[in-house]
Structure 1
Amino acid sequence: MLLFAALIAGSFSFGGMAARHMDAGPLTLWRYLLTVLVMGLLTFAVLRVPFSLPRRIWRFAILGGLIAVYMVTMFTALEFTSPVQTGAVFTLMPLISAGFALIFIGQRTRPDVLSALIIAALGAIWVIFRADVAAILSFDIGTGELIYLVGVICHGAYVPLIRKFGHGENPLAFGFWVIVFTIPWLLPGGAVPLAETDFAALPLTVWATILYLSVVTTALTFMLLQYASMRLPAPKVLGYGYLTPTFIILLEGVLGNGWASPAVFVGALVTAAGLLVMGLLRD
């Protein structure tokens, strides 16, 4: 999950560059069409997982819908706010996931783990409000952050539902079918704009971003998330996301997009400290 956090951080920075040139709908659809191809080849051709049509398709339709909302809101949010801000909203996911885990699978979060989640969430809030006490007191949250919060809530529900809906299927095959059933949710808002896109006019950064998002932060992170979700409590799975803002700040600086202010960076370090505390606690 440390690798998961690092790879996810890249999706915010690279996704922000792509969002300047394409709308969220067609960009997300393009990404998932390519991901289906990559995951299909990896699962059934390279790793030789036996192919079979999924049972109880409604499970994959629900999971695919949650992921579709999450991805569209992420790219939409990046049109309004910075990768660091969206990354901070992402770190609220473990606390949200803990609530859904209790509702969906009866998984209770111990008080010490919950305390670590709350402390880390406070650091995330500090970053979300740009280290501005007045903005916190007036709840002056940006449009992009509010949009992405909807997606984060959906992704928070997705993690415990993987365990609830999993019935012994191969994790790779399960992840493949989730991606397949994400596409129908994306077609209404993305099919026509994607068909009308002048691909030859798109800058190289968009092509590189799509490849990164499709191969690395969809195919690979899906496998990492599936593996961890079957072995760790839901809050701990996404607890590693606390490192995401720190990784984003470092990546944004390396890419020449500017460094976050010291006050914002302190908030990111608080969320990372939440991970350290949680990692030392027993499952």
Structure 2
Amino acid sequence: MKNSVKVHAALFLVALIYAGNYSISKDVMPHYMGPFGLVLLRIVGAALFFGIISRIVAPQDRITGRADNLRALTCGVLGIGLNQLLFFSGLNLTSPINASLIQTVAPIVTVLASVVLLGEKLTLPRLLGIALAGTGAALIILGRSGPSAVPGQDGTLGNVYILLNATAFGAYLVIVMPLMRKYHPFTVLARIFLVGAVLAVPAGWQQVQEPDYASFPTSIWAAIAYMVICLTILAYLLNNWALKYASPALLGAYIYLQPALAVLIAVSLGKDTFTTAKALQALLIFGGVFLVSRKPKPVAVPLEPIQD
């Protein structure tokens, strides 16, 4: 299998994992556990996993140099600590529909950060791809029924948290790429999750002690396991592996698939119907992903005339 096919398969699986999370997380929060408690379980569990695996798979690999260590610290704060604390705080306050919609700003941040930090070109096809995919995602989400926010909760504040989360994640995708291409992925993930745990433990310590774990039904334990294993470990591993072979813009563009996959999941569970309008909206999303994934053509340099 070619690397390009593997990259798209990995990113599709990540989008599927994230798409299912919007509903699964709401089953746990806030009745069984607060958002910061969930974040603590996710980050500490992943930090332990990646820390052990990195010592087995790449025992001699170390992040060295002041610049790389500062980059890893920044990635841990943005991509792990703030990203997850902001996301679950926002999802706890707003509806899954609003959270999914606001998440689509992350590719815009990713592309702009790539232009500023990596010198990538903001071409017309990429701009068109962002517009197409964003339009398709917005049409799908806005077309779904349901309340705009959970009654009794501050939906506006939740939306702000999700916006900040998407901004942090979009910037993280660009900043982490040089580390992923220089060091073993487990080495990088072990370090940045350790940094994230430094933020998550004090933030979620109280909430993780409050629940009556003995009263948790099997479905809630399964949801928590899904968030720790699939949403945290597997999704981050696949995302960061893909960074070795794909541009940050492509990773960001796959966020647009999440609302489309969320609709397909709802249809398979009998909670929604698949209409012609939704099919057209899905085509917009896949068309946008295709355009953003296309690399800009190199500019031909004219040859200098030979001087006699």
Cα 1:180–1:99 change in 2 (3 A) is same
TM-score, structure 2 length as denominator? 0.77
Conserved 8 A contact 1:38-1:215? no
Q: How many residues matched?
A: 272
Conserved 8 A contact 1:119-1:274? yes
Query: Are 2:50 and 1:39 aligned?
Result: yes
Cα distance between partner residues in 2 of 1:150 and 1:265: 28
Cα 1:53–1:196 change in 2 (3 A) is farther
Other-structure match for 2:59: 50
Other-structure match for 1:138: none
Task: Pick from 173, 189, 193 the counterpart of residue 159 of structure 1.
Answer: 173
Question: What's the CA shift for 1:207?
Answer: 1.9
Cα 1:202–1:61 change in 2 (3 A) is farther
Question: What's the CA shift for 1:174?
Answer: 0.8
Question: What's the CA shift for 1:129?
Answer: 4.9
Other-structure match for 1:145: 159
Amino acid aligned to 1:10: G
Conserved 8 A contact 1:9-1:244? yes
Cα distance between partner residues in 2 of 1:86 and 1:260: 21
Other-structure match for 1:117: 130
After TM superposition, the structure 1 = structure 2 runs for residues 51-70 of structure 1, keeping only pairs within 5 Å, are 54-55=63-64, 56=66, 57-66=69-78, 67-70=80-83
**Comparing 74-83 and 28-37, the one that deviates more:** 74-83
Question: What's the CA shift for 1:282?
Answer: 4.1
Task: Pick from 214, 220, 223 the counterpart of residue 237 of structure 2.
Answer: 223
TM-score, structure 1 length as denominator? 0.83
Kindly name which structure, 1 or 2, has the bigger radius of gyration based on alpha carbons.
Answer: 2
Cα 1:73–1:211 change in 2 (3 A) is same
Unaligned runs of 5+ in 1: 136-140
Conserved 8 A contact 1:131-1:263? no
Other-structure match for 1:15: 25
The Cα RMSD (Å) is: 2.9
Query: Are 2:116 and 1:103 aligned?
Result: yes
**Comparing 182-191 and 74-83, the one that deviates more:** 74-83
Conserved 8 A contact 1:126-1:267? no
Cα distance between partner residues in 2 of 1:61 and 1:267: 42
Cα distance between partner residues in 2 of 1:92 and 1:208: 30
Conserved 8 A contact 1:85-1:127? no
Amino acid aligned to 1:103: V
**Comparing 266-275 and 236-245, the one that deviates more:** 266-275
Other-structure match for 1:241: 255
